[in-house]
Structure 1
Amino acid sequence: MRVVVIGAGVVGAAVAAGLTRRGAQVTVLEARTPGAGTSSTSVAWVNANNKTPRAYFDLNQAAVWAHHQLAGDHFFPTGNLECAATDEHRELLEARVTRLIGMGYPVERVTARRALALEPDLVPPPPGTEYVFFPGEAYVHPLRLLGRLLGEARDGGATLECGAEVSAIEASASGAKVTVADGRTFAGDAVVTCAGRWTQHVAALAGLTVPMLDPAVSGTVTNGFLVTTSPVPARLSRVLTTAGLNLRPDGEGGCCCSPCPWTGWPIPPRRCPRRSWPRSWRCCPACCGPPRGPRPSGPWWGSGRCPATGSPWRGSPIPGGGCTRWPRTAGSRWRRC
């Protein structure tokens, strides 16, 4: 079977690799470069921690174990340590833990001593903080994973065409023809779209309608904020989650962080929340916040498009817009810190 896959992010690469394993002849069409969308701006936290309803939880749980089976130098199965320091967070965490235990999800309630053994450089949160460890969770380095999957697909005979923005899709009894912007055409027996936030547009080229949420108005389901930092003089080996900030190692000595108060803002925001970042950063449970912590670098708004069910995450950064200019405007503030 000949299959044309549209989009060379992690999802498109995984589809291409899976199809080549099954003997398909695969062509991957990428409008820009592999991983130029959400794949390069994802926290890449592998989990089924707060996924509802049950069918969506089961899908994510299956994906977690698929990651474990794939393994490799992109994959870090070090778990997730969650710290709940407020009454509201403790209440929500307790309800979630009870639900997850009932579904057979690996969960461990741990003491402050155990939490410090897992992450020795934690700044001790206030007395009464509760800690829960999710040992089956992990994180990945997305572009390493992307390289592995695309490499496997190419080893299986797949071809990758970059700079191939799809402009037309024509279906017939014998298959489909996909035309790209420079006039080239690619024939296949089937077409799979893995175009993320461009899914609605790509589907329309084939005369199909896919209901999607709009990241300009839809909040946390579609929108997220991601920041990477300069190198951190602290040991950090896993995903850490709090009420104000989620973070993980970025693989280059810094942190990859998602400030929770900013997630869900319409894309792009009217102005950069310059004063919010230091307050959000102090929520970080590791020894990496002000006054001697790292400077933020490479912030991105993740602009996602999801089906109207609101379950999957798809999207891309908005370079040059929104808060991508923020480090230059806020640099003096961080120098004073």
Structure 2
Amino acid sequence: MITANARAVFGPSDPFKAITIDRRDVGPRDVLIEIQYCGICHSDIHFARGEWGSVNYPIVPGHEITGIVADVGSEVTKFTVGDRVGVGCMVDSCRECVNCRKGEEQYCLNGHTLTYGAVDKYGQPTQGGYSTHIVVDEDFVLRIPEGIELDVAAPLLCAGITTYSPLRHWGAGPGKKVAIIGLGGLGHMAVKLARAMGAEVTVLSRSLKKKDDALRLGAHHYYATSDPETFEKLAGSFDLIINTVSAKIDVDAYLSLLALDGTLVNVGAPAEPLSLNVFSLLGQRRSYAGSLIGGIRETQEMLDFCAKHHIAPEIEVISADRIDEAYERVLASDVRYRFVIDISTMRTA
């Protein structure tokens, strides 16, 4: 076993504590990664606080992982010691179902293995990237392209691919009008990516306080959804709307903003159910959909796209002893726009 320093929570309302965890020995197809950075995703907060169901505590969150390859198994062909790599939201899948064979491992019909909070094929609970080391099968390791630093690369492994995948799938590009609901960790990446794809980009946020940021990040337009006139003015405007917020919204109101054959896609994951009136869909042949991260192939495509177009998230790097503070600031929307943990600060903990 390999011992790693980590930060874990032991209950839904507990603060993070320094612990040591065991990582499995490097198998023939495994890659040992010395983690350098790990982003903090809103999903980490939901999971750590038990908001999505029962949790087998203690849990080490983190699925926006970047680092350096420290060792490889005897059958590894994709990576060598010293490579710059990343790990996202999943570390395994069945590899055999129709979805896996299509390169859509995130929709594995037998259930993909989450980076944390799951049980791996060895029968052990998975623990995430708030730790100094991780061992992952080479097929679920991503290569970080030159030109992207490891700290800014970390949020791309979740926030980046979570927004890139639906933008690609629903054809964001020249001639398309795309709206982004929310300008947080996911939303600010959606703006940058949609703009780079050539779409006309609008940000829809509750107030005007982030308007200057949105325009700087690449949005063409910005509207406050707290203003009732916004929904009247923009009715029937958009080909695609990406909802990035993890809070309850008026689905019918946002569906009214779609043009003929438009689609509203949820990537934010609120803890409570959302509802809609089916007549909001019927009138203009509108669609309401969801999207969950991306497969390994598409995630690598996204990383290469970001390198080519010089796209990087806006981050604030913090030490490991500030994770609890960061969680509270995320909930208060007090981050522009993603916290990233400097894992070197827990190596001696």
TM-score of the superposition, structure 2-length normalised? 0.24
Q: Which has the larger radius of gyration?
A: 1
TM-score of the superposition, structure 1-length normalised? 0.25
